Amino acid sequence: MLDAVAVLSSGVGLTLTLTALSLIAGFLLSVPLAFIRAFARPSLSLAVLGYTYVFRGTPMLVQLFLLYYGLSQIEAVRASVFWVILRDPFWCALLTFSLNSAAHTTEILCRGLQSVPKGLTEAAAALGLKRLQTARLVTFPIAFRISLPAYGNEVVGMIKGSSLASTVTLLEITGMARQMVSATFAPFEIFIVAGAIYLSLTSVTVKAIQFLEGRLSTDGPPGTRRRLRPKPALCEPEITTPTP
């Protein structure tokens, strides 16, 4: 049991790296996409929806295998500059996770953006703010705050989802666990230890998100504040499962 803790802990670094980088890349990609989704003309919005719909409607395992084994089958891909990145299992997993996370985050932020009261943007315009300034200083910060609980679910989902990297030869926590099971033939203890490590990671994340929610809240102390309920607007309700 102690052995398992020691060995599996060595995979925590890779799990966290994969999770953090995918979340960052996914977030950066999703911000412009969410604005397009929420405010651009229907044709553009639908194009973004097409992307988010496919990535949210299929299992991430299929996406990973499609990008990892599927793309490498195409001669043109192997000849292109992208092969430098796609050749490496780490970057390939990172790319899949980022695209998946961006799809979920886009819809989450889109809902946040659409729940920002119109009066606020009108007030900003009346104060003489340009459109980009309004977006940056008014719309986005409010939308982000509204989206935070749902985005917290996405963060936890990504920590758990990174376990799929074990299927493409990467040795993160689950990869280490499967490797160790195959060497010791003692699956029960090892997977319990793996589960416990993930649980501690996700629990810390949940606490951190709750703390952030409290800090960013403007409606008074956490217990008493009324959570802003985003009205079901044009955007798809998130397909991610709710997490603590």
Partner 1 sequence: MRIPFATAVLLASFMSVFPVRAEGERPLSIATEGASPPWDGTDANGELYGYDVDVGRELCRRINIKCSFVAQDWDGIIPALVVGKFDVIMSGMAITEKRKQSIAFSVPYAGGFNQFVVRKELGLDAGDTKQKVNLSTVGDKERAAIEHVKSTLSGKAIGVLRSSNSEAVLKDLFGDVVTIRSYDSLDNLKLDLAAGRVDGGLADFFTWRDFLETPAGSIAVFFGPELKGGLWGPGVGAGMRKDDTALLAKFNAAIDAAAKDGTLTALSIKWFKTDIAPAIAK
Partner 2 sequence: MGGFAFQFAAAFVVTLSLALVSGSLGTVFGLLLAVSKSAAAPRLSRVVTAYTTVVRGVPELVIILLIYFGGTTFASMVAGRYVEVNAFTAGVIALSVVFSGYATEVFRGAIAAVPTGQTEAAKSLGLNAWQRWAFIIGPQMLRLALPAYGNLWISLFKDTALVSIVGLTDIMRVAYVGAGSLRAPLTFYLAASALYLTLTTVTLVSIRFAERRYPAFGR
In the list partner 2, partner 1, none, the entry touching 120 (Cβ below 5 to 8 angstroms by class) is: none
Nearer to partner 1, 69 or 211 (CB): 69
Q: Do 193 and 12 contact (CB within 8 A), yes or no?
A: no
With CB under 8 A as the contact rule, the residue among 73, 182, 218, 224 that binds partner 2 is 73
In the list partner 1, partner 2, none, the entry touching 21 (Cβ below 5 to 8 angstroms by class) is: none
Instruction: Please report, as residue ranges, which positions from 2 to 61 form the binding site for partner 2 (by CB under 8 A).
Output: 54, 56-61
| Distance from C-alpha of 183 to C-alpha of 230, rounded to nearest angstrom | 50
CA angle 104, 197, 213 (to 5 degrees): 45
CA dihedral 77, 78, 80, 85 (to 10 degrees): 90
Our finding on whether 238 is near partner 2 (CB under 8 A) is: yes
Closest C-alpha among 107, 113, 158, 104 to residue 140: 113
Supply the minimum distance, in Å, between the C-beta of residue 72 and partner 1: 4
Our finding on whether 98 is near partner 2 (CB under 8 A) is: no
| Distance from C-alpha of 11 to C-alpha of 118, rounded to nearest angstrom | 47
Q: Give the distance, in angstroms, between the CA of residue 237 and the centroid of all CA atoms in the same chain.
A: 15
Closest C-alpha among 53, 7, 12 to residue 159: 12
Instruction: Please report, as residue ranges, which positions from 151 to 170 form the binding site for partner 1 (by CB under 8 A).
Output: 167, 169
Which stretches of the chain bind partner 2, using CB under 8 A? Answer: 54, 56-63, 65-66, 69-74, 156, 159-161, 163-164, 166-167, 174, 177-178, 181, 187-188, 191-192, 194-195, 198-199, 202-203, 206, 232, 237-244
Which stretches of the chain bind partner 1, using CB under 8 A? Answer: 69, 72-73, 78, 87-89, 167, 169, 178-179, 181-183, 185-187
